[in-house]
Amino acid sequence: MTDRPPAHQRILLKLSGEALMGDDAFGINRATIVRMVEEVAEVTRLGVQVAVVIGGGNIFRGVAG
C-alpha cells in the first residue's frame, strides 16, 4: 500500500449476489467470501469506514434460465 492517507473516510461497496458465487455454478462460495472479507478488513485498517451492500435479488425472484 501507500503511505498517503485514504482519499475518503467512508465508502460504500456494492457487491452483486452473483459475485459471491465465485467459480461455483450456484450458491455462495466460502473462499470468495473469505477473500472479500480480508480485503474489506485491509481497508478498514487504514481507518476507512466501509458499508457493504450485497445484492441477492435472484435469490428471491428465482434464477431464470
CA distances from 36 to 4, 18, 61, 63, 65 (A): 23, 13, 25, 24, 28
Which amino acid appears at position 27 of this protein?
A: G
Q: How many CA atoms lie within 13 A of 51 on its CB side?
A: 6
pTM exceeds 0.75 = no
The predicted-structure confidence for 5-60, as pLDDT tens digits, reads as follows 999 999 999 988 788 887 877 778 899 999 999 999 999 999 999 999 988 666 66
Helix (H, G, I), strand (E, B) or coil at 29: coil
pLDDT in tens, 23-34: 877 778 899 999
CB 17 within 8 A of CB 63: no
What does the domain layout of the chain look like in residue ranges? 10-60
